[in-house]
Structure 1
């Protein structure tokens, strides 16, 4: 039935467009099409009439929002740009029914409320923090909704009062489901909310596996998906597989098929959050140091032990990111990496799969850390402009009528991954299970130099946590006081 509704939504969108044209000065072609529609109506079968009734219900989902006088909101021809560092600003060619319906919806809201909107790169990844600060301090005629990435620059701008408090704008209702995101949690301080994200969480770190190497070790790659589906994909199960696949194939005392190759700055946080731990916590009183919690220290110690037992040793002249090359070359069976890496392994000879990071002993479900991009409105804009920008972003990120329960987000991922299970099973879990990285909200904390690059069996996580305790607390106190 959902597929039928989608098709009908497309049909009715076309009929609506014809109707709009007919209200003005219709062309001969439009008049002819309208005539054919009425001529056909009397010949409808009962089944077709029933389908048409469903279609009319779909049309009703284009609800017109009106001001206190009962007129559709008029944004006066505003040209709005969602400013980022990657978008072309050009309308992409529709390749599916959803794409067509989405563009028709965007055309409708722009015409109904008298504005235009596009996503466009106005800066680079490296320059966007400075460009946002310049915009937010000087203002201008532009109508920007800025895209920012999480980190110290975002936090500094937030603490400097450069972001509009979105909670004061009555066109946004942060109790709606689409705003129940990690971004809302991260960007809310007290009763104020300074950032938004009306789209799904972007899946991050999980476990990639080489299917050929698993099969050569007598392991069915699908069995890992079964473990995940049965909620049995745990640290212990992962280590069992590592033990089984790691081999000294020529009996020379040197491991030549390694179980793991990892970028530790990805592995450590993935392990911590998979056990219910975190580096910085947040409650009603603000941020606090969670590095010395049992869950966090247990995860860091486990990750260190796994590295000691199963991590491949890199060549002395290896590049800093050789871990990814090693996995692509089939030098290790598993790697912990983020979902976007799949798109960089299009030339990998072996097939690979992807599952969530396994659950730690303190958890009963899978999670992945989140560092989603944040959408903000500069605080230099007046209330009228801020309201209009928020109003438009709310519309822009609403589900397309007829596709509210669809999974159109999967289409891009299918092009990157080698099997459907990675998307239909793993990513379907991950997009709904992101957890915040609160450390990104604390100015001064550098997870690499502070922790990841210095812990070892000789400098244990507990020892390192103790040595940086006071420093971190000073950063946290400064953030909480602002």
Structure 2
């Protein structure tokens, strides 16, 4: 079956070729080129003069002449985020209403946060192909925006034209620098983030642990936190603790439904353990400018062997093929109910309807590190970033409004306070994540397309966890598949 992305890419290529003949000019949106061309709709100052570079105009002089700004920001209910949407009922919504009203009055514009328009690849593709403006900015996942960026459908935010338009990209008080810089693909920044109390990206995967269970097994929470700080939180130590926590009072083997049994691990890290030994399944080669499949790297083999060990032999982690085949949500529930010592969770799981239901206290630590690295990592699986499409020729006006919004809402310290609250005030958890793992956080490039996500999560990771294949067999089987998808997405 033909890959839908490649078909759409061919259509876009034909249309762009036709437009290039008609306009007799270079394609300034090719991600492999840099252009200083500024073709934005001018911003008008209060005295009627026009300028396409609002950075040279003072705030008090900018008049956007009733410009209608639209930011597509879908609701992510799992994370409990306000998602920048104003309302007249909630405390955050009312605050946002006041913020937007102030900006609208200052610049003579209107601001709409649209939560109904589509944000997937199929919804955005017609705008990329036809050049008809979709919105000023769109918040979407990397599996959608990376293919669009590589096809020339997005504006690089660090391009000269965007900087000349006044986008205050490198100001930490306007844009969250960690998550914004994380959108760097092939040397260009494609997305922005304004994490704070009004909107926040969900934390990447980590291991949560039940403090009561690990202490009963002889490993108090402070011992585990100190292991992270001391650099001894390793594959072997993690597995040692998980095995020590296993309890089978009836002596009839661990079962599901659980009953009185205590499992060592309720749920794996959704494949993210594969990044914990100093490399990953996909690497970027600076010399060639290409993304490469890396499954046969000896360091990666060790990480995949750890993934297989996490599953155990049906006596450590609640397996996918055990009993009535519990799904991932079922296995998380086992942890919430205090029937497992560890569980691989991510930001969206730390809220009132998930960990908030737990009777036991829990701690959170990064994945243990492999033998070939001295760093802990966090892989940001779902990097929901906001992008500006090439079809938005009003980007100078967009920049003015984004700067104003970001200045009001971006607050990394407030974001950390929210994380602390979601961890029930466990300061040790926040400490080990933000001080020992967060400096090495990165975007999950293995979700560079929906097709790649299927290959990695539903096939490669599953075959390793369930031992459907040996690690060596999995590396041989999937190397070619991954490389073929990379070549298509990144036009290599």
Q: 1:363 aligns with which of 373, 381, 392?
A: 373
Aligned-pair distance for 1:85?
Answer: 1.4
The partner residue of 1:306 within 305, 310, 326 is 310
Deviation at 1:121, TM superposition (A): 0.6
For the Cα contact (< 8 Å) 1:201–1:434, is it kept in 2?
no
1:395 deviation in Å? 3.4
Pick the aligned partner of 1:393 from 397, 402, 423.
Answer: 402
Aligned to 1:277: 279
Per the alignment, in what secondary structure is the counterpart of residue 196 of structure 1?
coil
Report deviation, 1:298: 0.6
The partner residue of 2:146 within 145, 148, 155 is 155
| SS of equivalent to 2:242 | helix
Cα deviation code 1:440-479 (max 9, x no counterpart): 2257432134411223556222222212323333333334
1:333 deviates by: 0.9
Tell me how far apart the structure 1 counterparts of residues 333 and 451 of structure 2 sit (CA, whole Å). Answer: 32
Partner of 2:384: 373
Equivalent in the alignment of 1:6: none
Secondary structure of the residue aligned to 1:467 is helix
Partner of 1:416: 422
CA displacement at 1:169 relative to structure 2: 1.3
**Alpha-carbon deviations, 1:252-280, whole Å to 9, x = none?**
565832211214xx3422x1222222111
Inter-partner Cα distance in structure 1 for 2:439 and 2:405: 21
Aligned in 2, Cα 1:416/1:254: closer, same or farther, shift over 3 Å? closer
Deviations 1:172-217 (A, max 9, x none): 3655565654654545335x54333354764211111112222332
CA distance in 2, matches of 1:73, 1:94: 31
Residue 190 (structure 2) aligns with: 194
- After TM superposition, list the pairs within 5 Å mapping 1:316-355 onto structure 2: 316-321=323-328, 322-343=330-351, 344-355=354-365
Pick one of 293, 297, 314 that aligns with 2:297: 293
- Supply the distance in 2 between the matched residues of 1:423 and 1:107 (Cα, whole angstroms): 38
Contact 1:206-1:336 within 8 A present in 2 as well: yes
1:96-245 aligned at under 5 Å gives the runs 108-123=102-117, 128-137=120-129, 143-151=135-143, 153-166=144-157, 167=159, 168-170=161-163, 171-172=166-167, 178=175, 180-181=177-178, 184-189=181-186, 192-199=188-195, 202-245=202-245
1:453 aligns with 2:462: yes
What is the match of residue 3 of structure 2? none
| Change in CA separation of 1:119 and 1:363 when aligned onto 2, cut-off 3 Å | farther
Match of 1:54 in 2: none
2:86/2:97 contact within 8 Å kept: no
Deviates further, 448-457 or 290-299: 448-457
Q: Is the CA contact (8 Å cut-off) linking 1:207 and 1:357 kept in structure 2? A: yes
**Partner residue of 2:64 out of 71, 75, 84:** 75
Q: Find the aligned partners of 2:134 and 2:297 in 1 and give their Cα distance.
A: 47
**Scaled by the length of structure 2, what TM-score is found?**
0.71
Q: Name the CA distance, whole Å, in 1 between partners of 2:416 and 2:177.
A: 20
Confirm or deny: 8 A CA contact 2:192 2:385 kept in the other structure: yes
Q: Secondary structure at the match of 2:271?
A: helix
Cα distance in structure 1, aligned partners of 2:303 and 2:237: 15
* Larger CA Rg, structure 1 vs 2: 1
Deviation at 1:144, TM superposition (A): 2.8
Moved more, 297-306 or 210-219: 210-219
User: What secondary structure is seen at the aligned counterpart in 2 of 1:291?
Assistant: coil
Question: What 5-or-longer segments of structure 2 have no aligned partner?
Answer: 1-53, 76-82, 256-260
Per mean C-alpha deviation after superposition, the further-off stretch among 102-111 and 326-335 is 102-111
1:471 is the counterpart of 2:481: yes
Q: Contact 1:143–1:389 at 8 Å: present in 2 too?
A: no
Question: Quick check: 2:363–2:429 contact (8 Å CA) kept in 1?
Answer: no
Q: Which moved more, 1:365-374 or 1:115-124?
A: 115-124
Report if the CA contact (8 A) 1:328-1:348 is conserved. Answer: yes
- In 2, the alpha carbon distance for the partners of 1:395 and 1:290 equals 42
Cα distance, 1:419 vs structure 2: 3.5
The answer to whether the Cα contact below 8 Å between 2:140 and 2:384 also exists between their aligned partners in 1 is yes
